[in-house]
């Protein structure tokens, strides 16, 4: 067969395939499955945002081809958001670009910045799109291990010199998926210093920038002086406002990178539906009480689940952001074995850590994205039914 291309052929099989098969079998056998594997929040999109979407959809001029670079209201709203949240001034014309979800921009930034054979520095474990986009661009992945010992941040000095020299892009992601790790501004200062020294652009994925708890405030990498010279930051409405299905995100920062990405995009897509962009602008500018309310719900779920895990001997520091718990598997188990045990004994699906990269082995991820009563039911089943045999 002379299809598909080698580029597609090299993409590894979907890591959730095995667990999805088991899930289907168990549902068929009548088991009540609770899926804590998915990263799609159950909380509804706030009504004022949906109302704005339907209102804008009535205007015939919003139904034409959108502008390639994003509608002015959306880009201005992103710039206003950056000034309000971080004190960062952005030119909406040149330093903000609308995306069809941040995933789209993350995938397209790779061929925008690398040529075949170039290296991309990728946190391990991390969001799989960084790795897959690199493979699709015929680039090479260099994994930067994130471990508990290094607080789940990369050790830049540990990257071999020969690889640093051939690297054209570095991804970072805080608050992190799957690790739920958070950082403070000094970490971003070190990252920018490394990037400047070696002329390696940084793409910081801030999908969970506003999903934070208590007094913790996640910094923006653009708060570092000079960051705009070498970095871009991806953001998304998906998690903050439960708008995953809208497909709206943005990239901000270095204008040359943004210009290059918009060249690729203007030859690939034609932007997001204008009513969606206008509803997203309204979300960013409007009443933010939904964000506070949703974060409190995630925080309460997290507290309950941490308590459930503690009862089986798994202890984790309470995360300051994201809606994930990243926990070590009890000793004597691989990630896959533990996840299978949990599924068979409790009907609860969690994700094996190695689905996010080799350094994720020995961990599992719990996503807190099911309604409260299901989440508390899962906690009870883990507490009461899970028999972990050490050894």
CB of 127 vs ligand PLP, minimal distance in Å: 4
Q: Alpha-carbon distance 119 to 221, whole Å? A: 22
Residue 269 in the binding site for ligand PLP (CB under 6 A): no
CB of 172 vs ligand PLP, minimal distance in Å: 10
CB of 103 vs ligand PLP, minimal distance in Å: 3
| DSSP line for 87-121 | -----TTTSEEEESSHHHHHHHHHHHH--TT-EEE
**Which string of x and - marks every residue 352-381 that binds ligand PLP (by CB under 6 A)?**
------------------------------
Of 207, 279, 284, 366, the one binding ligand PLP by CB under 6 A:
207
Q: 5 preceded by cis ω (within 30°)?
A: no
Of 23, 75, 103, 320, the one binding ligand PLP by CB under 6 A:
103
CB of 152 vs ligand PLP, minimal distance in Å: 13
Residue 173 in the binding site for ligand PLP (CB under 6 A): yes
Cβ distance 68 to 271 under 8 Å? Answer: yes
Residue 238 in the binding site for ligand PLP (CB under 6 A): yes
CB of 82 vs ligand PLP, minimal distance in Å: 17
Residue 240 in the binding site for ligand PLP (CB under 6 A): no
Which letter, b or e, does each residue of 69-89 get, where b requires 16 or more Cβ atoms within 10 Å of its Cβ?
bbbebbbbbbbebbeebbebe
295-324: contacts with ligand PLP (CB under 6 A): none
CB of 129 vs ligand PLP, minimal distance in Å: 7
Q: Alpha-carbon distance 228 to 327, whole Å? A: 35
Q: Alpha-carbon distance 266 to 268, whole Å? A: 6
Query: Which whole-number Å values give the CA distances from 238 to 41, 106, 112, in the listed order?
Result: 9, 14, 24
Shorter beta-carbon distance to ligand PLP: residue 244 or 340: 244
Which are the contacts of 62, defined by CB distance < 8 A and separation ≥ 6? 56, 273, 274, 275, 278
Residue 102 in the binding site for ligand PLP (CB under 6 A): yes
Cβ distance 182 to 174 under 8 Å? Answer: yes
Of 46, 66, 101, 219, the one binding ligand PLP by CB under 6 A:
101
Stretch that binds ligand PLP, among 10-18, 64-72, 236-244, 372-380 (CB under 6 A): 236-244
The three-class DSSP label of residue 287 is: coil
Shorter beta-carbon distance to ligand PLP: residue 241 or 333: 241
Beta carbons within 10 angstroms of residue 32's beta carbon: 11
Shorter beta-carbon distance to ligand PLP: residue 103 or 320: 103
Stretch that binds ligand PLP, among 1-9, 57-65, 84-92, 97-105 (CB under 6 A): 97-105
Stretch that binds ligand PLP, among 15-23, 98-106, 261-269, 349-357 (CB under 6 A): 98-106
Q: Alpha-carbon distance 117 to 168, whole Å? A: 10
**Which residue is it, tokens 């202890």?**
315
Q: Alpha-carbon distance 219 to 86, whole Å? A: 7
Of 97, 205, 301, 378, the one binding ligand PLP by CB under 6 A:
205
Residue ranges that bind ligand PLP, judged by CB under 6 A: 39, 101-103, 127, 173, 177, 205, 207, 236, 238, 244, 249
């Amino acid at each position: 067969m002379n299809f598909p291309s080698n580029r597609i052929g090299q993409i590894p099989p979907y890591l959730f395939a095995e667990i999805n098969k088991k899930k289907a079998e168990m549902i068929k056998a009548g088991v009540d499955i609770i899926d804590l594997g998915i990263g799609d929040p159950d909380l509804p999109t706030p009504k004022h945002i949906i109302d704005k979407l339907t209102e804008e959809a009535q205007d015939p001029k919003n139904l034409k081809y959108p502008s390639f670079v994003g509608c002015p209201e959306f880009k201005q709203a992103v710039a206003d958001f950056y000034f309000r949240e971080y004190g960062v001034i952005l030119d909406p014309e040149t330093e903000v670009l609308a995306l069809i979800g941040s995933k789209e921009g993350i995938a397209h930034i790779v061929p925008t910045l690398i040529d075949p054979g170039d290296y991309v520095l990728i946190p391990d474990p991390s969001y799989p799109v960084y790795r897959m986009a690199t493979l699709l661009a015929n680039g090479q992945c260099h994994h930067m291990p994130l471990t508990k010992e290094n607080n789940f941040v990369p050790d830049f000095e540990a990257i071999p010199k020969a690889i640093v020299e051939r690297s054209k892009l570095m991804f970072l992601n805080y608050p992190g998926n799957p690790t739920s790790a958070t950082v403070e501004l000094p970490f971003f200062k070190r990252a920018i210093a490394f990037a400047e020294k070696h002329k390696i652009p940084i793409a910081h994925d801030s999908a969970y920038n506003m999903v934070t708890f208590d007094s913790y405030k996640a910094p923006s990498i653009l708060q570092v002086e000079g960051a705009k010279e070498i970095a871009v930051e991806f953001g998304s409405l998906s998690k903050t406002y439960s708008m995953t299905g809208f497909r709206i995100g943005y990239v901000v920062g270095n204008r040359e990178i943004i210009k290059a990405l918009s060249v690729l995009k203007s030859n690939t897509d034609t932007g997001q539906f204008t009513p969606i962009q206008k509803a997203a602008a309204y979300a960013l500018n409007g009443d933010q009480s939904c964000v506070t309310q949703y974060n409190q719900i995630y925080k309460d779920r997290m507290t309950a689940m941490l308590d459930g895990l503690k009862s089986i001997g798994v202890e984790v520091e309470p995360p300051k952001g994201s809606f994930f718990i990243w926990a070590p598997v009890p000793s004597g188990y691989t990630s896959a074995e533990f996840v299978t045990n949990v599924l068979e004994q409790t009907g609860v699906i969690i994700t094996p850590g190695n689905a996010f990269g080799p350094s994720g082995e020995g961990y599992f991820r719990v996503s807190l994205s099911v309604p409260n009563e299901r989440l508390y039911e899962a906690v009870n089943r883990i507490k009461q039914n899970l028999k972990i045999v050490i050894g």
